[in-house]
Amino acid sequence: MADEDPFLWLEDVTGEQALDWVRTRNAETLDELTGGERFETLRAEIREVLDADDRIPYIRRRGDYFYNFWQDATHPRGLWRRTTLDSYRGEHPEWEVLLDVDALAEAEGENWVWQGATVLRPDYRRGLVELSRGGADATVVREFDLEQRAFVADGFQLPEAKSRVGWIDEDLIYVGTDFGAGSLTASGYPRVIKEWRRGTPLAEATTVYEAKPDDVSAFAYHLSTPGFERDFVGRSLDFYRSEKYLRTPERLIRIDVPEDAQTTVHREWLLIRIRSSWTVNGRDYAAGTLLAARFDDYLDGSRELTTLFEPDAHTSLEAYDWTRDHLILTTLSDVRTELHVLTPNEGWRRAPLTTGLELGTAEILDTDPDDSEEYLLSTSGFTEPPTLSYGHVGGELELLKQSPARFDSDGTAVDQYFATSRDGTKIPYFVVRPNAAVGPTLLTGYGGFEVSRLPGYSGVIGRGWLARGGTYVVANIRGGGEYGPSWHTQAIKENRYLVYEDFAAVAQDLVERGITTPERLGIQGGSNGGLLMGVMLTRYPELFGAIVCQVPLLDMRRYHLLLAGASWMAEYGDPDDANEWAYISQYSPYQNVHSGRDYPPTLFMTSTRDDRVHPAHARKMVAKMREQGYGVRYHENIEGGHGAAADNEQLAQKWALLFEFLWEQL
């Protein structure tokens, strides 16, 4: 079937014929959607939100300093900077700029995009900085001296690749990269992990672990907590299964847990979060349970486990974070956040951590697990601007920063409803309504990879949609993590259709409740959510008035052959297996778009530099629909990676195109 595809030439990402096609489509879309007063106003207002000087500069502690990466109109590519807590408490913190990415890009003639830095504990004097060209996942790695605020001339450096790096000590790092033939997995990630010593050629680095070619990737990392220094290596068999080993000078010791369990080690403790049911020592544990054991005892064969969290029909574990001596649990109860503190040395005593939110989200942004009980807490809601607070477990919570409102939310109602999917499952969703009138409604969802969609503040959505009278809806469909691992696993592979039935049920419920009509209901989603949009277009077109499909998967016959696609076969299945293609083929949008149908107006958006989801998915879908006579719209940003925008100017343009299209159609 793949050999019969007439649009395979569009898979040549930077081929001149393909780029000529892209430029033509872009020009058509920009000519239609830009230039009008509403578009220009939308873009200006969104850019104002993105560049606002009074945004919260979110911070992470590294030693004595708190670090921040900041982008604004003057520094579109950004500043890596740091300050002290006392200075941060003031209205205008004094920032020490470590790296100006704009200046670096200009000096080197590269379109650098910041991708983060790994800083060496405990002195935090050296960092491994990652930069990508145009926002791609592939990065270059360079060692950086934080005291001199300069790259280390003879330091650790790697050319562009999808690398994994991590410090062991000041003169030794773990590195997984493109070492040549056979060093990458079929998904394009490192298969081989090596130890690389300062001052030696990369070619002389010592191999410490190898994964298999069909694994997703290999990994290694060093824990540097004083008195509990440990090294781990392992392999990700697929997106959800892994093998992890404690690396000692003598041998590798397997962490004997189910392959789909997640494990973390802190000081003397091993935490195990299971994704499927598990029976140990005659006791059954449900999927989504969090268990604790003493690490050394567990490796010696003990299976004495303490249950720290057990899910029920309404409650799941969203995250957990260690301070030095306490564990903070973030749970969801019907998609509403609750925080709890567990203290291991007191029989794992549990106490609530108050957030003051009802229909909002609380998130632990950072802790200091080596040295203190400190934590940083971020809260926000659909109509509640973000706040950043600082506290210590057992102490008072100090408000550090609060973002001003970006739009007028007076009179805006936030409600949670439940739709009934085709199989009878109740599907929660949030509705944000600035008025009671039946008007344009934007529905979004994701439904994959155990990713939860939670209530949160968006000045962009507020300015571009809510403030103009639009209703905004977030659907918590299966495939996500809102009710724990089973909410996800019941909708993978052959049961993928449940994701799409859930989303369709929410759309129908909105109409039945009188919130909107099909003609005024628009939908938007990206990546796996872009696949969701493609399925809605081809299977449920009568439910919608407009669709925006971003950085999508659409050709599910070839997705596993394109870029990182092979790493997602645990989610979707293997198209080369006839039995699995039988169910994938039932929903794959590219294979199920046909002429003569009444499809709603659709805008496809992607990025040339997306090296995670291939831009050919969107390109080929649009080419096929155009051949079938549909007036579909298309825009491909040359930069941007999987986020489809490399800076705030591009991000404002992307959002303005999306909103202009939806307002025009709805």
Residues 316 and 286: their CA atoms lie apart, in Å, by 11
pLDDT tier at 2, thresholds 50, 70, 90: very low
Q: Which candidate in 75, 266, 326, 642 is catalytic? A: 642
pLDDT in tens, 190-211: 999 999 999 999 999 999 999 9
Cβ partners under 8 Å of residue 209, min gap 6: 192, 193, 218, 220, 233, 234, 235, 245, 247, 252
The most distant pair of C-alpha atoms in the chain lies apart, rounded to whole Å, by 70
* CATH number of the CATH domain containing 441: 3.40.50.1820
Sign (positive or negative) of CA dihedral 274, 275, 279, 285: positive
| CA distances in angstroms from 43 to 405, 524, 656, listed in the order given | 18, 18, 5
As a whole number, mean pLDDT of residues 4-23 equals 95
Confidence of residue 34 (pLDDT cuts 50, 70, 90): very high
Q: Is 236 a catalytic residue?
A: no
What pLDDT was estimated at residue 286? 97
**Could you give the CA distance from residue 261 to residue 269 in angstroms, rounded to a whole number?**
16
What pLDDT score was predicted for residue 4? 85
What pLDDT, on the 0 to 100 scale, is given for residue 1? 42
User: What is the CA angle 619-621-625, rounded to 5?
Assistant: 120
For 495-534, how does the pLDDT look when each residue is reduced to its tens digit (9 = 90+)?
999 999 999 999 999 999 999 999 999 999 999 999 999 9
Percent of the chain with pLDDT over 90: 93
User: What pLDDT was estimated at residue 218?
Assistant: 98
Span 433-446, average pLDDT: 92
pLDDT band at residue 347 under the 50/70/90 scheme: confident
DSSP element (H, E) containing 2: none
Q: What pLDDT is attached to residue 346? A: 73
C-alpha atoms less than 13 angstroms from C-alpha of 511 in its C-beta half-sphere: 15
pLDDT surpasses 70 at 646: no
Q: Exactly one of 421, 527, 588, 607 is catalytic; which is it?
A: 527
Instruction: Report the range of poorest mean pLDDT among 35-49, 169-183, 357-371, 408-422.
Output: 357-371
**Average pLDDT along the chain:** 95
Mapping DSSP onto H, E and C, the string for 436-497 reads CCCCCEEEECCCCCCCCCCCCCCHHHHHHCHHHCCEEEEECCCCCCCCCHHHHHCCCHHHCH
Residue 111 covered by a domain? no
Q: Please give the angle made by the CA atoms of 152, 157 and 158, to the nearest 5 degrees.
A: 160
Answer yes or no: is pLDDT of 336 > 70: yes
pLDDT value of position 136: 86
pLDDT of residue 484: 94
> pLDDT tens digits, residue range 69-93?
999 999 999 999 999 999 999 999 9
Provide the domain limits for residue 517: 2-48+406-665
- Between the alpha carbon of residue 595 and those of residues 449, 522, 555, 585, 633, the distances in Å are 32, 22, 17, 18, 16
Confidence of residue 364 (pLDDT cuts 50, 70, 90): very high
Give the residue-averaged pLDDT of 5-20: 96
pLDDT of residue 648: 87
Residues 6+ apart with CB under 8 A from 40: 34
* Each residue's pLDDT tens digit, 367-401: 999 999 999 999 999 999 999 999 999 999 999 99
Alpha-carbon 73 to chain mean position: 25
Cβ-based neighbours of 364, under 8 Å, separated by 6 or more: 319, 321, 328, 330, 339, 375, 376, 377
Residue 69: inside a domain = no
What per-residue confidence (pLDDT) applies to 644? 57
* Close Cβ partners of 456 (under 8 Å, ≥ 6 residues apart): 360, 361, 380, 381, 382
Q: Does residue 505 form part of some domain?
A: yes
- Asked if pLDDT for residue 366 goes beyond 60, the answer is yes
Phi-psi region of 489 (alpha: psi -120 to 50; beta: other; left: phi over 0): alpha
The total domain count for the chain is 1
pLDDT single digits (tens) 569-617: 999 999 999 999 999 999 999 999 999 999 999 999 999 988 889 999 9
Q: Is 640 contained in some domain?
A: yes
pTM for this prediction: 0.92
Residue 37 lies in a domain: yes
121-171 confidence digits (pLDDT tens): 999 999 999 999 988 889 999 999 999 999 999 999 999 999 999 999 999
User: What average pLDDT score do residues 266-286 get?
Assistant: 97
What CA–CA distance (Å, rounded) separates 113 from 645?
Answer: 10
439 occurs within a structural domain: yes
Quick one: pLDDT band at residue 643, thresholds 50, 70, 90?
Answer: low
Concerning whether 642 is annotated as a catalytic residue, the answer is yes
**Domain-embedded: residue 77:** no
Q: Is residue 302 part of a domain?
A: no
